[in-house]
Amino acid sequence: MKISELSSSLNVSEMTIHRDLVPLIDAGIVEKSFGGVSLIEKQQVHNDHICTYCSSPINYQLRFQLILTNDRHEMTCCAHCGLLRYRELKENVVQAICYDFLRQTTLSAQLATYVMDTSLDISCCQPQVLSFQHEVDAKKFVTGFSGGVYSFSKAIETVFQRMKST
């Protein structure tokens, strides 16, 4: 949309439009072009500091990465957002990577074991989802901090269903 059209339809000056667009441009929501502005589609947004799903700051100890076709990469703040984003884009996902919650090692998200409903509050998206490389580690963690243990596909559907019901 042209800046002049926005100015006219909102009945404010073009300078006000320019000033009000700055935070939207910084957040990666809109893109400025010569004389205008356009929305950026969610899958085009790439910022290594902001979650592509919920727009929260990335917690690098919890991050979840998606490598997509056409060499595109997306990063989410946690496994919760990563699993939901994977569900949206699964046909275009070449690889999904997460980090073991205990060891901080890289692993394939499809091979990870996930824990939900733990009593440990990590101050991230709800329901919290923690990833583990070894199922035995996930089960030991649940012994101390409660929760349930899920496979990749079960974790995706569980998070999706819980978000749908809220």
Which token pair is 105? 């090692």
Q: Are 67 and 120 in the same domain?
A: yes
Torsion of CA 88, 126, 135, 49, to 10 degrees: 70
Strands lying side by side in the sheet with 106-108: 73-76, 64-68, 93-99, 106-108
Do 81 and 107 share a domain, yes or no? yes
pLDDT: which is higher, 31 or 73: 73
Same domain, 27 and 68: no
Q: Note down the domain range covering 136.
A: 45-165
Given this model, what pLDDT does residue 45 score?
Answer: 44
Residue 133's pLDDT is: 97
Token pair in block for residue 18: 């320019």
117 and 90 co-located in one domain: yes
Buried b vs exposed e over 76-110: b needs ≥16 C-beta within 10 Å? bbbbbbbbbbbeebeeebeebbbbbbeeeeebebe
Q: Domain check: are 14 and 52 in the same one?
A: no
Residues 125 and 139 both lie in one domain: yes
Shared domain check, 60 and 36: no
Q: Residue 127, preceding bond cis, omega within 30 degrees?
A: yes
Same domain, 31 and 51: no
Whether residues 81 and 135 share a domain: the answer is yes
Confidence of residue 35 (pLDDT cuts 50, 70, 90): confident
Question: What confidence score (pLDDT) does residue 44 get?
Answer: 46
77 and 120 belong to one structural domain: yes
pLDDT digits (tens, 9 = 90+) for 45-92: 456 689 999 999 998 889 999 999 877 889 999 999 999 999 999 999
Domain match, 56 and 36 both: no
Domain count along the chain = 2
Do 10 and 69 have their domain in common?
A: no
Mean pLDDT, to the nearest integer, of 99-106? 94
